[in-house]
Structure formats: structure tokens, C-alpha cells
Amino acid sequence: MALVYEPGDSLSFRQPFTSLTQDQLRLTNKNNSPVAFKVKTTAPKQYCVRPNAGRIEPGQSVDIQIVLQPMKEDPPVNTKCRDKFLVQSIAITREMDTMTISEIWTMAEGEAKDIINEKKLR
């Protein structure tokens, strides 16, 4: 499935981390059919992801805002961030076209895990 991720494989948050810091992820659907997407993180209390799920029509893009919540103090300079993000996507077939995004993901995760595409970001 041709879903284009901008920026590529990583997100970049800039100091200071004591105030809201954000980055943007753009997903572009290069397919001939709509795509459902969902964004997960290993640190859901530290990040606000909006929208965290949705539908992208053929040839269209969605901009996703990822906001790092403020920390009490900046971490040491040499600290390596271990937080990760997972973008899952699935082509929406004609049978799924009338389903809500939530219904599509419930069906896919229960019955059709092999058709879910995944992209890991750091």
C-alpha cells in the first residue's frame, strides 16, 4: 500500500521541553482507494496526537499534530529518547465503506490482522 510519510522515519521535538513542543506528521494516500489510519505511541500520557485516527481519500493528505506535554525540567543533554510511534493503515474496501473508523479497526484487529500495514517512527 502506498502511504507516504513526511518526515520519513523520525519525529523531531526541539527544546525547551518545559513548554509545549510539537511536530507534524503528514500522511498522503497514493492509492486508488481510501485508507484508514491510526497512530499509537509507547508514551500516551506524554503525547497528544490529533487526529489519532481517520480516513484519507485517494490522492489526499492528512496533517497530524503530535504535541509533547511539558516536562518539569529538561532532561540531560545526552539522554536518548526511547518513545516510539506506530502508524497503522488499512485499505478501505467497498464492504467497509459504510463502516465508521472505529468499526473498521475493530474488524481489522479481530479478523484481518494480516492486512494492516505498520510503520514505526522514533
Calculate the CA dihedral of residues 43, 9, 56, 64 and round it to 10 degrees.
Answer: 50
Contact present, 27 and 54 (Cβ < 8 Å) = no
pLDDT in tens, 42-74: 999 999 999 999 999 999 999 999 999 999 998
pLDDT tens by residue, 23-47: 999 999 999 999 999 999 999 999 9
The percent of residues above 70 in pLDDT, for the chain, comes to: 99
β-partners of residue 82 are none
**Rounded-to-integer distance, Cα 95 and Cα 117, Å:** 19
Mean pLDDT for the chain?
A: 93
Instruction: Please tell me the distance from the alpha carbon of residue 74 to that of residue 6, in angstroms, as a whole number.
Output: 27
Residues comprising the chain, all counted: 122
Report pTM: 0.92
What is the chain's percent helix, strand, coil content, to nearest 5? 15, 40, 45
Cβ neighbors of 108 (< 8 A, separation 6 or more) are: 36, 90, 115, 116
* Rounded mean pLDDT, 83-102: 95
